[in-house]
Amino acid sequence: MPLFVTVGNTGNHHDVDAQRRHILTTLIQPRCDLPAVKTLIDTCCSVSLVSEDYANELRRHGFCCRTINTPVEVGMAAEGVSFTSSSLQEVPLVFNGVDAHCVRVECPIIKDLQWPLILGINHLSLLHAKINCHTRVVQLEHGGWHATLNCTASTGGEKSALEFSDVLKDELTRERQLLNEAREHAFEDDANRDLPPIGDENADKNFPRSDDQYAKEVIAEIRLDECTNLSTAQKNDLKKVITKWCRIFHLPGEKFEEIRGYKHHIDTGDHEPLYCTPYPLPESQVRFVKSEIDRMIAEGICRPSESSWSSPILVVAKKDEHGQKVRPRLVIDYRRLNSITRFDAYRIGPIHYPR
């Protein structure tokens, strides 16, 4: 059954003058290096919406669009019109705080929508929005992150400034410093766990990369120029192969793509599901864990689940790829699951010879 969404006043549209509606407007950036767009904060809108023009611009910057099987029917009560959308656009939202914090949402694409972006009650609720209509301030929170939007009441779609409260910014700066000190103290005695590095924290600011830039960064990470066992001709040939197939290498900040060619199965026989009680976490790690989970959900690494199987998480420490700075790493303790897993009896064949 299609979803009917009302935007603006929900009364009789013949009695409503759309130009006289009092609405909260602001500017929100899709990415740190891209200009902000006019955004309507609308609690009368059940679902966030994006205009066709803005969706096309986001796709030019590499953000995804997908088709849905059941179209979404959108009705504008104030304008007395309705639309049907069968496409969802990935829309990034950057909230400026101590550092930029990005959230990605999916919105139906609506042709001829007067606003580039309308934030509806569905995403306002997920962002724990607190709206003060008197002071025209919207407070948002996501994964332990806080941002304050100073809006304006507008009838003609005027732009307004996106500002971050100086008081809240100073408070978050102090909290971040205390959190970093607590992490360093917690991990200083356990810095050599055999785990891969996290990667560049600022990589998402360069996302998405062009093919040439992607290949260049992959070759730099592989350190092909430092290889002394290959001749110059061999290095050039290998560089051509890597450049052609550079996308099979994952770089920090890039979204993981799902591979549907094979579905992995963990054989546990007839053993009943194992549910392990989560390990308690110190307060200094709670925000880090929440931000990492939000990041992995946004990148498609994991998704919400109600499975009967559950393994606890841990935060461990690992030096970076240069062996210098100690950094926290989120891992899962699968030891109990491994203890009941039936492993393959077949050994892997020789991998040094072509088949």
0.75 exceeded by pTM: no
Peptide bond into 208 cis (omega under 30): yes
Q: What is the CA radius of gyration of the chain?
A: 25
Ordered domains of the chain (ranges, CATH): 4-164 (2.40.70.10), 182-192+260-355 (3.10.10.10)
Question: What confidence tens digit (pLDDT) does each residue in 291-347 have?
Answer: 888 888 877 788 888 888 989 998 887 776 666 666 788 889 999 998 999 887 666
Residue 170, pLDDT above cutoff 80: no
- Name the phi and psi angles at 149, rounded to 5: -105, 120
Question: What confidence tens digit (pLDDT) does each residue in 99-151 have?
Answer: 457 788 888 998 878 889 998 888 888 888 888 877 788 888 876 777 788 78
Whole-number Cα distances in Å, 29 to 100, 163, 238: 10, 12, 40
